[in-house]
């Protein structure tokens, strides 16, 4: 169920990383796509028109790409949770929804995706 409130949505963040249980999955980086939805009060940014009063989209994208490149977990689930937790380090964010897509993870399946929701109160 979506969080109530204002949201920032970034869809289709392209990244690369090593995610997988099998040796062939761990021999080279593969493409990943990440969608992020952040629940945040946008009233301050709406009033000030200042990027300092909101979340910088470039910083969110950089965080996602860095974690995809550095973590190298076996499970897509682990990566999705790590991304959501890192985004919640910004105290203004009330909730982070993260979907990590790993295309080609299963033979004859176009896309496998894991979606996690983390709320500040449950951290």
Please check whether residue 26 is in contact with residue 20, taking contact to mean a CB–CB distance below 8 angstroms. yes
**Are 102 and 19 in contact, with CB atoms under 8 Å apart?**
yes
Active site residue: 15, 19, 37, 102, which one? 102
46 burial (CB, 10 Å; 0-12 / 13-18 / 19+) is exposed
Residue pair 61/35 in contact by the 8 Å Cβ criterion: no
Judge whether 45 counts as a catalytic residue.
no
| Catalytic sites, residue numbers | 102
């Amino acid at each position: 169920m979506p969080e109530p409130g204002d949201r920032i949505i970034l869809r289709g963040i392209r990244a690369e990383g090593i995610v997988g249980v099998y040796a062939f999955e761990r021999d080279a980086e593969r493409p990943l796509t990440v969608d992020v939805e952040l629940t945040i009060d946008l009233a301050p940014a709406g009033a000030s028109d200042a990027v300092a009063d909101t979340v910088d989209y470039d910083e969110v994208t950089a965080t996602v790409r860095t974690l995809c490149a550095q973590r190298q977990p076996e499970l897509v689930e682990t990566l999705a949770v790590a991304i959501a937790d890192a985004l919640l380090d910004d105290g203004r964010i009330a909730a982070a929804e993260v979907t990590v897509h790993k295309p080609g993870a299963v033979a004859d399946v176009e896309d496998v995706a894991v979606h996690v929701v983390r709320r500040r109160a449950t951290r």
